[in-house]
Amino acid sequence: MGAKHIRNNLLKEIGDRVRALRSEARLTQTDLAERATLSPRFVAQIEAGQANISILRLAEISSALARPLQELIPPPSDDNSLHAEIWRLLSRYREEDLQELRHWLRQRSGEPQPLFIALVGLRGAGKSTVGPRLAKRLKTDFIELDSLIEKAAGISLGEIFAMHGEDYYRRLERAALADLLASARGAVVATGGSMVTDPENWGLIKRRCFTVWLRALPEEHMTRVQKQGDMRPMQGHPAAMAELKALLARRDPLYGESQLTVKTTGKAPGKVVGEIIEAMPA
């Protein structure tokens, strides 16, 4: 078999894999091109097996798809080795099945299981108060996802939305999530309040984390934000409370998809932490 044939076959299989993962993510070629900062024409060439894409470019696509790089590089079709066969088998399974397999492998090797706990809720839910206390009790890290996003962008959240818009923010959020969940340590993660409105990111969190909705009354959300020193929600905006209630009403069904709901009304942070730990999977 000639080198040209091997090259063309590999590029075709990479293209087929990129197309399959893009379709699974319900993205158009233009969507993927924007997320990976590539031209739509180049994405089309990749999927057609006509682009000799570099590893760095392929890494940008894997980040845009929130998939590990190795998922985009299938073994050649004529490779019948054990590793190639296992790769093909794994590529057919859902995320949930792979998590079960990982759990079994970790048990077999005696390796401890990393645990990710995602705290969800609107701003003022108590994520930044409960999160560090919960992480300390569990002897793990506390991470605010928005802080990772700001670090990656090099600018504040307000500047991200003002300069680049929500789509750019979501792309950064997806990349930050993928990098975080690839960590072997585990963590308590405070998510952004709007994260549940993005089906792809929310789906990833639900698949990989123990999800906890910190539920509070609208009045509590507003009071906590103001106690943090931010008076903007009410200043010169008499309809702020009505809009906050409407926002919560829209998002409550999404927050309610969490594995655990903890009402924080009238509870000290330590009490909330205790309820979470008691309900966590063994």
Amino acid identity at 67: R
Query: What pLDDT is stored for residue 99 in this prediction?
Result: 64
Q: Which two tokens stand for residue 225?
A: 């934000």
Torsion of CA 247, 276, 116, 184, to 10 degrees: 160
Determine the Cα–Cα distance for residues 115 and 282; give it in Å rounded to an integer.
11
pLDDT computed for residue 233 by the predictor: 43
Domains and their CATH numbers in the chain:
3-92 (1.10.260.40), 116-279 (3.40.50.300)
Give the pLDDT score at 237. 62
- Contact residues for 193 (Cβ-Cβ < 8 A; gap 6+): 121, 122, 123, 125, 251
Is the pTM above the cut of 0.75? no
pLDDT at 234: 47
Confidence at residue 211, expressed as pLDDT on a 0 to 100 scale: 96
Reported as a single tens digit per residue, the pLDDT across 222-256 is 777 766 655 444 445 667 778 888 888 899 999 99
Ranges of residues in the chain whose predicted pLDDT is under 50: 231-235
